[in-house]
Amino acid sequence: MRLSDPSVAPLADPAALADIEKFERMLASYLAGDLDEDRFRIFRLNNGIYGQRQGGHNQMVRVKVPYGSLRPEQLDMMARIAEEYSRGWGHITTRQNVQFHFVALERVPELLRELASVGLTTREACGDTVRNVVGCHLAGACPYEVLDISPWAEATYRHFLRHPYAQRMPRKFKINFSGCATDCGQAMFNDIGVVAVSRPHPDGTVEPGFRVFIAGGLGANPHPAQALEDFTSREDLMLTLEATLRTFDHYGNRDNKLRARMKWLVDTMGIEELRTRILKERQLLHASSSAPEGLPEQVATSGDEPAGVSGAVSPTPMGWGTNVELRRSDRYGRWDDANVVRGAAKGTVSAMAYARLGDITADQFRALASIQRELGAEVRVTNRQNLVYRNLTEEQLPTLHARLERLGMAEPGAELARDVVSCPGADTCNLAVTQSRGLADEIGRALEEAGLADLGGVRINISGCTNSCGQHHVADIGFVGVERRAYGRSAPGYQMMLGGYLGQTEVEFGRKARRLPAKAAGAATVRVVGRFAAERSPGESFAGWLERAGGAGAVGATLADLDVFPTPEEDPSFFVDFDETGPYVSEVGAGECMGS
């Protein structure tokens, strides 16, 4: 039985119910004035409840979806949460969480109880904790994987949930899993990134295991993750994860939150010293009564064998730089070309449901659950804010397409230019300086009008501030919100970055190309994407084209004419952000969580 078997529905976890009862007591104390703001803020963050820029009792509730796996009753519950507690829709994040906004603080306990009834939790989705454990959305169904990392991600999630070391760390801690070097799980810019690899032995046998990368991060000062050791055995993986976490807890900076992430330990002690301390911690961890030794129960029960590759089907290309080509012109054919993945030896196929801007309405959640039941499929959310149906047959694909068509989720979006990723931005986030969602919408519209939305091989990501929740650093074309000044007035703007890349256990962060008015960013995107489409050689990646074109600076120089503000009288819209009605004001609130 797979961990994400849609027929399995656990009872509410007693530990989760105890958490909720405590939240209820703490909330009552806070509302009565007996618990101060700072202490309650830390408590609610550790329970996944995040304040919004609107202030008052408006809250964002972040639901953890470990490695993206969802069952139909959980999708049904998200429909209910969206309707009953939020504004009618939820938002998929780049870390496979689902967020609901404008939830009244007083109603949080009842919402948490409803989530717990279907095995979902918000516990440690925010705060200085081990955040949601992210994994490849096609793990167990990918033709390239070395191991199915699903049970490993599940075991990691369960091990660190409520773990004593995971409650009040120096800063948040992120763990990502990838089943192969293609790195669809985005391991290379996290505190721990785990990539499944193989090690050959002298007798000709091959041992599957892992390569563990440490101390990566995005934010204002991005750091690439670096290898801890050449190979970590399956038996040693859980010990290695805990040893890394404990080392961070021991030596992380508790005095300055801006330099508290694990990546800063590389700067203060050096990578060799950090490696030495982690490996020493692992060696001594055997003495602990709680040491997670050997294979975890989830792996022993479910197995972690890879899906394998069918000799009858050419595997669908995967990962960064994938150049999807739409060979057909009919709606079903275009969707099949762009959104369907084939190649697993067991003969099943996977297919993407496109969620524009990562948003899903209550009606869509409910319909997605119905489709999952009808097809007996597995469902996972992706780190590009879509969903994927897995364990399908070829015969089921037309039915799935027809159902998604009715929902407005059958657009050929996966790995095409229209699949723009964005954080929530200034719509709700205290730290954002721009309406990143509005820009994402504008870029999508501009690409559609220019006939470039169907182009493959280019990824576009947007963040409303430097914390990089939209992961702009690792996009082919990335935008980060900034405040601009023109004619003595504030105006919304973006720094365009070009050339981000992730794959083959490597990461390249995008380089600055041009600062632009927000209202010119769509036109700049169309110009860069159009030039890439016109100039690239057959099969050439965006990174390859960018290097031939002279790099980010050279391409950015060609956009100089767009880096111009008209006077407020000539065009007042340049001084109003997307989805706003009044003049732009850069309002940044107190940061609670700093990144998703």
* Predicted local distance difference test score (pLDDT) of residue 591: 58
**Residue 139: inside a domain:** no
CA atoms within a 13 Å half-sphere pointing along the CA-CB vector of 586:
14
The answer to whether residues 341 and 313 touch, using CB atoms and an 8 Å cutoff, is no
Q: Are residues 432 and 535 in the same domain?
A: yes
Binned at pLDDT 50, 70 and 90, residue 6 comes out as very low
Examine the pLDDT at 596 and tell me if it is beyond 60: no
Q: Which DSSP category does 105 fall into?
A: G
Examine the pLDDT at 469 and tell me if it is beyond 90: yes
Range of the domain at 338: 331-407
d(Cα 400, Cα 349) in Å, to the nearest integer? 12
Could you report the per-residue pLDDT of 296-345, keeping only the tens digit for each? 999 999 999 999 998 888 899 888 878 888 999 999 999 999 999 999 99
* Cα→Cα distances 564→22, 397, 490, 517, 518, Å: 54, 48, 14, 7, 11
* Predicted local distance difference test score (pLDDT) of residue 11: 61
Tokens of 370: 């119905």
568-591 as b/e, with b when 16 or more CB fall inside 10 Å? beeeeebbbbbeeeeebebeeeee
Q: Are residues 347 and 495 in the same domain?
A: no
What CATH number is given to the structural domain containing 452?
A: 3.30.413.10
Q: Are residues 472 and 427 in the same domain?
A: yes
**Residue 165: inside a domain:** yes
**Of 381, 407, 433, which residue constitutes the final position of a domain?**
407
Q: Are residues 270 and 356 in the same domain?
A: no
The answer to whether residues 107 and 115 touch, using CB atoms and an 8 Å cutoff, is no
- The residues with which 502 forms a beta bridge, in sequence order, are 507
Examine the pLDDT at 475 and tell me if it is beyond 70: yes
Tokens of 185: 């799980």
Q: Computed from CA positions of residues 534, 538, 539, 543, in that sequence, does the dihedral angle turn out positive or negative?
A: negative
**Of 116, 134, 159, which residue constitutes the final position of a domain?**
116
* Predicted local distance difference test score (pLDDT) of residue 426: 87
Binned at pLDDT 50, 70 and 90, residue 10 comes out as low
Q: Are residues 100 and 229 in the same domain?
A: no
Given the DSSP bridges, would you call strands 206-214 and 175-178 parallel, antiparallel or unpaired? unpaired
**Residue 133: inside a domain:** no
- Burial of residue 524 (CB within 10 Å: 0-12, 13-18, 19+) is buried
Q: Are residues 435 and 373 in the same domain?
A: no
**Residue 437: inside a domain:** yes
Could you report the per-residue pLDDT of 416-436, keeping only the tens digit for each? 999 999 999 988 888 899 999
Q: Are residues 186 and 216 in the same domain?
A: yes
Beta strands in 201-292 (DSSP E): 206-214, 226-227
**Residue 40: inside a domain:** yes
- Which residues, 6+ apart, have CB-to-CB distance to 499 below 8 Å? 476, 508, 510, 511, 542, 543, 546, 551, 552
Could you report the per-residue pLDDT of 32-43, keeping only the tens digit for each? 999 999 999 999
Could you report the per-residue pLDDT of 476-534, keeping only the tens digit for each? 999 999 999 999 999 999 999 999 999 999 999 999 999 999 999 999 999 999 999 99
Tokens of 538: 């057959």
d(Cα 110, Cα 292) in Å, to the nearest integer? 34
Q: Are residues 359 and 426 in the same domain?
A: no
d(Cα 292, Cα 285) in Å, to the nearest integer? 9
Q: What percent of the chain has pLDDT over 70?
A: 97
* Cα→Cα distances 189→59, 109, 193, 194, 266, Å: 28, 34, 7, 11, 13
* Predicted local distance difference test score (pLDDT) of residue 415: 83
* Predicted local distance difference test score (pLDDT) of residue 325: 84
Q: Other CB atoms closer than 10 Å to residue 530's CB: what's the count? A: 15
Examine the pLDDT at 28 and tell me if it is beyond 70: yes
> How close are the terminal C-alpha atoms of the chain, in Å?
31
Could you report the per-residue pLDDT of 67-80, keeping only the tens digit for each? 999 999 999 999 99
**Residue 314: inside a domain:** no
Examine the pLDDT at 582 and tell me if it is beyond 90: no
Q: Are residues 354 and 391 in the same domain?
A: yes
Q: Are residues 386 and 347 in the same domain?
A: yes
d(Cα 272, Cα 284) in Å, to the nearest integer? 18
* Predicted local distance difference test score (pLDDT) of residue 246: 97
Virtual torsion, Cα 196, 200, 206, 212, nearest 10 deg: -20
Binned at pLDDT 50, 70 and 90, residue 589 comes out as low
Q: Over range 262-288, report the average pLDDT.
A: 97
Q: Are residues 539 and 450 in the same domain?
A: yes
Q: Which DSSP category does 315 fall into?
A: P
* Predicted local distance difference test score (pLDDT) of residue 482: 97
CA atoms within a 13 Å half-sphere pointing along the CA-CB vector of 458:
24
Whole-prediction pTM: 0.95
**Residue 136: inside a domain:** no
* Predicted local distance difference test score (pLDDT) of residue 7: 46
What CATH number is given to the structural domain containing 384?
A: 3.90.480.10
Binned at pLDDT 50, 70 and 90, residue 581 comes out as confident
**Of 374, 407, 440, which residue constitutes the final position of a domain?**
407
- What is the number of domains present in the chain? 4
* Predicted local distance difference test score (pLDDT) of residue 506: 95
Q: Are residues 550 and 487 in the same domain?
A: yes
* Cα→Cα distances 42→38, 63, 124, 168, 467, Å: 6, 17, 11, 9, 20
* Predicted local distance difference test score (pLDDT) of residue 53: 84
Binned at pLDDT 50, 70 and 90, residue 536 comes out as very high
**Residue 258: inside a domain:** yes
